[in-house]
């Protein structure tokens, strides 16, 4: 299967609950799923979202 990927970087001041809520909204309305999360020592998170390529275009990320 072919996937479209969207890398995101969440700053250290974004707590876990806020990050979860933002990612859940993207999953619900944008068709994204979580592919990978890296947590760095300084508190930033590197998030990789993916969704299947389809015939119908979907909304872009809004961060």
pTM higher than 0.85: no
- Is 49 buried (19+), middle (13-18) or exposed (0-12) by CB count in 10 A? buried
Predicted pLDDT of residue 40:
95
The more confidently predicted of residues 21 and 1 is: 21
Predicted pLDDT of residue 28:
87
Antiparallel, parallel or unpaired: β 45-52 and 33-39: antiparallel
pLDDT digits (tens, 9 = 90+) for 7-58: 999 999 999 899 999 888 888 888 899 999 999 999 999 999 999 987 565 6
Is 3 a residue whose pLDDT tops 90?
yes
Is 59 a residue whose pLDDT tops 80?
no
């Amino acid at each position: 299967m072919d996937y479209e990927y969207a890398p995101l970087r969440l700053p250290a001041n974004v707590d876990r609950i806020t990050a979860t809520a933002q990612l859940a909204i993207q999953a619900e309305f944008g068709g994204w799923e979580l592919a990978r999360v890296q947590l760095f020592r300084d508190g930033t998170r590197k998030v990789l979202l993916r969704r299947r390529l389809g015939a119908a275009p979907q909304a872009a990320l809004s961060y």
